[in-house]
Structure 1
Amino acid sequence: MTKNTKMIKAEWPDEKQKTKKPWYREYSEALIVAAILALIIRTFVVQAFKIPSGSMEDTLLIGDHLLVNKFIYGMQVPFSDTRFLSLRHPERGDIIVFEFPDDEDKSYFKRRDFIKRVIGTPGDTVEVRDKKVYVNGELYRIPQEVHKDPGLQPPNYGPRDFTGPVKVPPGQYFVMGDNRDHSYDSRFWGFVEESKIKGLAFIKYWSWDREENWPRWARIGHPIK
C-alpha cells in the first residue's frame, strides 16, 4: 500500500514543473479582457465625445472633449431601441447627445451624433417669437443662451427666430443649441425620439484650442451645466 502510494506521488507533476503560458499568450489574453471591458463601459456606462461645431457656445467650445453618462436614461441594447434600468427620463435643461434624426436611413457608420439642450419634454408646447422661447405659454430663459446676430425682419422671418407653437409628441423632445443664432436644431428638423438619445453630457475632461494650438486649462475638469 505504501509502495503504491509512493508511485502515485512520483507520477503526479510538481507545481514548479507545470507548463508556463507563453508571454505572447498572456499579453493577448490581457488585451482581449481589457478590450471587452472597454467595450462594455463605452456601451453601457460612459463614452467620450468631441465638440466639432459652435452650436453650443459658449457652454461648449469647439475642441472640448466630454464624457457622457450612458446609463442615466437607461442602458441601451446595442443595435436596438430597447433600454433597461432607466434612472430617469431627459428633463428640460439637460444637455444630451443623440443620433441625428435625419441620418436614420444612413448606414450605421455614417450616422452623426449631435449635442443640444432639452427645451421641450413630451406634452410641452414650444414657441419661438422674435428669438424668445416660450414653453407652455411662459417665457423660458436660461443664463447659457447666447444671441450673436440681429433678429430677422419681415419678410425674412424664419424658423430660427419664429417657430411654432408646436406640441412635443409622446416619447420625443424639442432641443436647441445654446448659441441660438447658429444652431441647427429642432426649429429646423423637428423632434428627437428618446430611443435616439445616447446620454447626458456631464463633464469636460479635455479642451484644445486649435487656433492657439494650446490646451484650455481653465475648462478641463469642469461640470457641464
Structure 2
Amino acid sequence: MFRRRKKFEPFTFIGVDDDRDLEVYRPERAARKHFRHEVGLLLRDILFAAAFAVLVIVFLVQPVKVEGSSMLPRLHDGERIFVNKLVYYGLPELARGDIVVFWFPDEPSKSYIKRVIGLPGETIEVRDGRILINNRELVEPYLDPQRNVARVNEPAHRIKNHYYFVMGDNRDRSSDSRDWGLVPEKYIYGKALFRFWPFNVAGIIRHETEYKELPSALPNNDVPVMDDSGSSDEQ
C-alpha cells in the first residue's frame, strides 16, 4: 500500500579546500596588466623606430636646406630636400647632371649645392656661355635662358682624376667651379633625392642624367689640367 521512498544521494560533496585554486576576476587588475603590456609594446616600437631613423640619417639620407638662388629654377631658396649619402661611398657612381651637396673646398665648414657638369678626365670649355665637353656642346634643358644671359668664356682645361666640375643652374648668379675650381670627390657627401618642403612642390628631384653620354676624353698634352683652385697646371 505504501511505496518505499527512493534514497537520493547528494549531488556532490563539497570540501572546504575546493575553491583554493579559483582565481577571482578583478576587472581593475586585468585592465592595469593590459595597459602595462601595451605601454611596453609601444616603447619597444618607439625604440626600434628611433634606432632605424638614426641608421637612415647616419648612413642613407640626410635633410638639407637650400640656401641662395644659384640653383634656380630647379631649387629655390629655403626649400628642404633629402640627399642620398651613399654617393660618398660610390653608390651609385656620380653622373653628369647629378645635383650634389658638398663641402666647399675653400671652407669645408660650409656646404654648397650644385650640378655636376664635368667628370674626371674630361676636357671642359665655356664658350659664349655654352659648355663644351671634349669639344662637344652639352645640351642643358634645365637652364632658364632669362637667367643665363652672360656670355662668359673659359679656356679649355682637363679635369683631374677624382675631381668634378660643378655649376649652378642660375649661371648669372652662381659661384661655382668657374670661380674657385674643382670639387674633390671625397668632398661630395650627398645627391639630391627628394624635396619634402614646401609640401605643394614635394616630390622626387630629376637630375637630367640622360645627357651624360658624350665622347670619351682623349689625351691631349696641349690642354692644361685644372686644379682645385681654379688655376691651371701646364703639363
Same fold (TM over 0.5): yes
- Please tell me the residue identity of whatever aligns with 1:129: R
Aligned position for 1:184: 175
| 8 Å Cα contact 2:148/2:171 also seen in 1 | no
1:115 aligns with 2:119: no
TM-score by length of 2: 0.64
The 3-state SS of whatever aligns with 1:66 is strand
| 8 Å Cα contact 1:56/1:116 also seen in 2 | yes
Per-residue CA deviation, residues 166-205 of structure 1 (Å, 9 max, x unaligned), is 1110001000001111110000011111111112102211
TM-score by length of 1: 0.67
1:34 is displaced (CA, Å) by 5.5
Alpha-carbon distance between aligned partners in 1 of 2:91 and 2:64, rounded to the nearest angstrom: 22
Q: Following superposition of structure 1 onto structure 2, how do residues 1-225 of structure 1 map, counting pairs within 5 Å?
A: 36-71=51-86, 73-74=87-88, 83=89, 86-104=90-108, 111-147=109-145, 148=147, 150-151=149-150, 161-207=152-198, 217=200, 219-225=201-207
1:28 is displaced (CA, Å) by 9.3
Larger radius of gyration: 2
| 8 Å Cα contact 1:204/1:224 also seen in 2 | no
Query: Can you give the 5+ residue segments of structure 1 that lack an aligned partner in the other structure?
Result: 1-20, 75-82, 105-110, 153-160, 208-214
Alpha-carbon distance between aligned partners in 1 of 2:42 and 2:103, rounded to the nearest angstrom: 36
Alpha-carbon distance between aligned partners in 2 of 1:149 and 1:201, rounded to the nearest angstrom: 23
- Please tell me the residue identity of whatever aligns with 1:94: D
1:133 is displaced (CA, Å) by 0.9
- Please tell me the residue identity of whatever aligns with 1:143: P
- Please tell me the residue identity of whatever aligns with 2:168: G
The 3-state SS of whatever aligns with 1:98 is strand
1:223 is displaced (CA, Å) by 2.8
Alpha-carbon distance between aligned partners in 1 of 2:72 and 2:202, rounded to the nearest angstrom: 16
27-36 or 197-206, which deviates more? 27-36
Query: Can you give the 5+ residue segments of structure 2 that lack an aligned partner in the other structure?
Result: 1-35, 208-235
The 3-state SS of whatever aligns with 1:174 is strand
Alpha-carbon distance between aligned partners in 2 of 1:192 and 1:178, rounded to the nearest angstrom: 17
Q: Percent identity?
A: 37
Alpha-carbon distance between aligned partners in 1 of 2:193 and 2:126, rounded to the nearest angstrom: 27
Taking structure 1 as reference, are residues 149 and 175 closer, same or farther at Cα in structure 2, changes over 3 Å only?
A: closer
Aligned position for 2:26: none
Alpha-carbon distance between aligned partners in 2 of 1:164 and 1:221, rounded to the nearest angstrom: 38
1:114 is displaced (CA, Å) by 0.7
| 8 Å Cα contact 2:148/2:170 also seen in 1 | no
- Please tell me the residue identity of whatever aligns with 1:223: I
Alpha-carbon distance between aligned partners in 2 of 1:135 and 1:38, rounded to the nearest angstrom: 41
The 3-state SS of whatever aligns with 2:83 is strand
State the 4+ residue runs in structure 1 displaced beyond 4 angstroms: 26-36
Q: How many residues align?
A: 174
- Please tell me the residue identity of whatever aligns with 1:59: R
Per-residue CA deviation, residues 60-100 of structure 1 (Å, 9 max, x unaligned), is 111221111111x25xxxxxxxx4xx333211111111111
